[in-house]
Amino acid sequence: MNGAHDCGGMMGFGPVVAEANEPVFHEAWEARMFALMSAVGDVGGWTLDEDRAACEAMEPGHYITSSYYEHWLSGLERLLQTHGLASAEEIASCIASAPSRPVTPTAADAVWPAVTAAGSYERRTGGQPLFRPGDRVRTRHLNPAHHTRLPRYLRGHEGEILACHGAHVFPDSNSRGLGEDPRFLYTVRFRASDIWGNGAPDLIHADLWEPYLEAC
């Protein structure tokens, strides 16, 4: 979606300042939020893509003025309500009744390995990739109202296929509860000067799904 989270290349946010000796958590509540997400996992049966979409659905003004773990909290509250596990009133009062249906969350010590293990989102498919290394492609000029992993600043630009990584869960479908719909995933190389102008000498590499691309 074209939300406040998709701010790559936008001006006005000031420089990115690296914090010396930055702690893992800046406040105690952030550590509790991390622990809560580890404990809850996918208690409602949602996917990582649904989780990301829920965080992105935050009110734009609130999103850009809040911290990373506030995005997590907002997303979790939305998912609990969407999946019928807690009402807005229960969340506000911090008092929950019994869930309306049985839930079986992923064990806490298995949550992060399940979503970060190499190949965990790769899937077998009987099709063949449309593109090969060396092919010139153009990203589609999309304006989806749903979650997507095609950054706004790359839309409508030409690049070169560097590698095909096989078929992976397609987030645009999976985030909406429409199934995994595996699609081929590619590393695409862009010239920064084509994206930003001003003779930028660098290269940009992005991992993009096949539905985002078309042949030049």
> Is the overall model pTM greater than 0.85, yes or no?
yes
Domains of the chain: 28-116 (1.10.472.20), 122-215 (2.30.30.50)
pLDDT at 105: 66
What tens digit of pLDDT does each residue of 33-85 get?
A: 998 888 776 677 788 899 999 999 999 999 999 999 999 999 999 999 998 88
What tens digit of pLDDT does each residue of 113-147 get?
A: 777 778 889 999 889 999 999 999 999 999 999 99
Instruction: Count the residues in the chain.
Output: 216
Cα-Cα end-to-end distance for the chain = 24
Of residues 69, 66, 65, the one with CA closest to residue 28:
69
Contact between 110 and 104 under an 8 Å Cβ cutoff? The reply is: no
> What would the two tokens of residue 127 be?
């099709």
